[in-house]
Amino acid sequence: MHAAIRPQPGIMEIAPYEGGKAKLAGRAEVLKLSSNENPLGPAPAALAALRAAAPDLHRYPSPDHAELRAAIAAAHGLDAERVICGCGSDEIISFLCQAYAGPGDEVLYSRYGFLMYPISARAAGATPVAAPEDGRRASVDALLAAANARTRLVFLANPNNPTGTMITSQEVERLAANLPEQALLVLDGAYAEYVEDFDGGLSLIERRENVVMTRTLSKIHGLGGLRVGWGYGPAHVIDVLNRIRGPFNLSGLQQQIALAALSDWSHVERSREANAAARRLLTDGLRGLGVGVDESHGNFVLARFAGPKAAAAIDAALQADGILVRAMGGYGLPEALRITVGLEGDCRRVVDTVGRALGAAR
Ligand SMILES: *Cc1c(COP(=O)(O)O)cnc(C)c1O
């Protein structure tokens, strides 16, 4: 750090986010299961929109995202006026922290919650506070016990990344109903579409003034590289967030491609079904080898091994076979690897490699 030119308090406490590995030295092709990407890729309509939108690159994009917000609202049964679009839902998370939390304030999340929560909290100068979990599942009792007069935001991913677990709508409602009055509950629904007949907490938002939701096109829509996410909440919150959102935070390309993706719901259905079948295969295959795997509700599983050394050895064996998964030391789960659900053949490859590596270790 420079002696005189210093950043705001809290910034230097941020451990830079480490994304999933994408490359292996000396290997042209890898099986990338490290970032929860949809193995089916984006809908064909999204790729067609990319080509169609290219000639307009000299134009500034729509600053209010009206068309995209209308499409999101229509797809999910929402009020378009209370939708806000961001450069990934990460940007919405960052807006929330900037707008509602600062020095002296606390941002609460559950122990194995998504790492962007503490990172964004610190970037805003606030103090992240992790509440203990019940096993690897968010505990409403622990979150409520940790909430106090300084708590401004409470983040809950449901289903959660990296554990894959979720809590019931009744539990979420109990959390919302019992938080201190100045605290806003943020329901991160990055994986909501992977759960059948689940609204991500929407009905709660319509009934309460202290709940917002973040969603993304990065996961089930297969558009992690596009960077489009959105938020939905009460009018008072969306009004606040729009005041700090840059007018051109989404390019025209992003908006047009996202619009096209939202027009093809069959791709979402197909992705959900393929994921459920492959996740079953991966979960059962790993369990059959004696690996600990909680039932996951997302497009990944958290595989737990005998200890940090065993997990590192399995990670190395997977890499030797050209397979990239996510090490979980940064989340405080060094004995675990998070494995994205690929195609069924990909899942078989993972199970085979893990089986061979465990066999060799015995
Ligand atoms: C992947 C993910 C996100 C968001 O990603 P964006 O690509 O920024 O939309 C948000 N929350 C959780 C829990 C995630 O796993």
pLDDT tens per residue, range 88-104: 999 999 999 999 999 99
Q: Tell me: pLDDT of 49 over 90.
A: yes
Q: Tell me: pLDDT of 16 over 90.
A: no
Q: What would the two tokens of residue 121 be?
A: 């909290």
Delimit the CATH 3.90.1150.10 region(s) of the chain. Answer: 19-37+266-361
Q: Which H or E element spans position 25?
A: none
User: What is the rounded average pLDDT for all residues in the chain?
Assistant: 96
The pLDDT value given to residue 340: 98
The pLDDT value given to residue 28: 87
Q: Which residues pair with 134 in a beta bridge?
A: 137
Q: How far is the CA of 216 from the centre of ligand 1 (A)?
A: 7
Q: Is 161 in the pocket of ligand 1 (CB under 6 A)?
A: yes
Contact residues for 307 (Cβ-Cβ < 8 A; gap 6+) = 334, 335
Q: Is 37 in the pocket of ligand 1 (CB under 6 A)?
A: no
What is the percentage of the chain residues whose pLDDT exceeds 70?
Answer: 100
DSSP class of 306 = S
Q: Tell me: pLDDT of 362 over 80.
A: no
Residue minimizing CA distance to atom 11 of ligand 1: 190
Contact residues for 116 (Cβ-Cβ < 8 A; gap 6+) = 17, 90, 93, 94
Q: Is 88 in the pocket of ligand 1 (CB under 6 A)?
A: yes
Distance in angstroms (rounded) separating the CA atoms of residues 15 and 115? 10
Delimit the CATH 3.40.640.10 region(s) of the chain. Answer: 44-263
- Topology (CATH) of 44-263: Aspartate Aminotransferase; domain 2 (3.40.640)
Q: Is 340 in the pocket of ligand 1 (CB under 6 A)?
A: no
Q: How far is the CA of 148 from the centre of ligand 1 (A)?
A: 27
Q: How far is the CA of 315 from the centre of ligand 1 (A)?
A: 23
| Region 19-37+266-361: CATH code | 3.90.1150.10
Q: Is 254 in the pocket of ligand 1 (CB under 6 A)?
A: no
Is residue 151 very low, low, confident or very high in pLDDT (cuts 50, 70, 90)?
very high
